[in-house]
């Protein structure tokens, strides 16, 4: 596998899990919804399970990781500002969906069977987004 493809895969596994974890905390502590919290946790665990399937073992993508040389690691100014708690959820649910889409596309190069798994997870995240915002409007 191409090293740059491995870097993309590694970064987006991390991005998807991190974004979903923030969303999980939002639905747990601000929306107080046990079902949505469990849904987030299940999807996050499925992403981790897919990582293990993708790499055939933990740490297999680490060799491609280049934190010091990553031109996107410092972030961008618009990422440093949030308007409030709902904006934190919004930014992270988008981050999760985008990362799952990247995983879906790049996994087609080597692990085609996982591509469908990422697509299914992305659509489950769409449902979480819809349910969470419905609940948020009622608060």
Domain ranges of the chain: 3-59+82-138
Long-range contacts of 50-59 (CB under 8 A, 24+ apart): 50/13, 50/103, 50/114, 50/117, 50/118, 50/121, 51/13, 53/111, 53/114, 54/9, 54/13, 54/107, 54/111, 54/114
Say whether pLDDT at 139 is over 70. Answer: no
Q: What percent of the chain has pLDDT over 70?
A: 81
Alpha-helix runs per DSSP H in 30-111: 34-55, 85-107
In the predicted model, what is the mean pLDDT of the chain?
86
Per-residue pLDDT of 63-117, as tens digits, reads 666 666 776 666 656 566 767 888 899 999 999 999 999 999 999 998 888 999 9
Per-residue pLDDT of 79-89, as tens digits, reads 667 678 888 99
Per-residue pLDDT of 5-62, as tens digits, reads 888 898 999 999 999 999 999 999 999 999 999 999 999 999 988 887 777 655 666 6
């Amino acid at each position: 596998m191409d090293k740059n493809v491995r870097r993309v895969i590694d970064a987006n596994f991390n991005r998807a899990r991190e974004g979903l974890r923030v969303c999980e905390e939002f639905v747990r502590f601000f929306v107080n919804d046990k079902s949505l919290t469990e849904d987030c946790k299940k999807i996050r665990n499925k992403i981790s399970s897919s990582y293990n399937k993708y790499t055939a073992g933990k740490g297999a993508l680490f060799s491609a990781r280049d934190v010091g040389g990553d031109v996107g690691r410092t972030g961008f100014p618009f990422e440093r500002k949030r308007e409030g708690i709902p904006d934190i959820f919004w930014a992270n649910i988008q981050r999760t969906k985008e990362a799952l889409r990247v995983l879906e596309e790049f996994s087609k190069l080597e692990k085609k069977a996982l591509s469908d798994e990422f697509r299914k997870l992305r659509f489950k995240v769409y449902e979480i987004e819809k349910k969470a915002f419905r609940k948020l409007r009622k608060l």
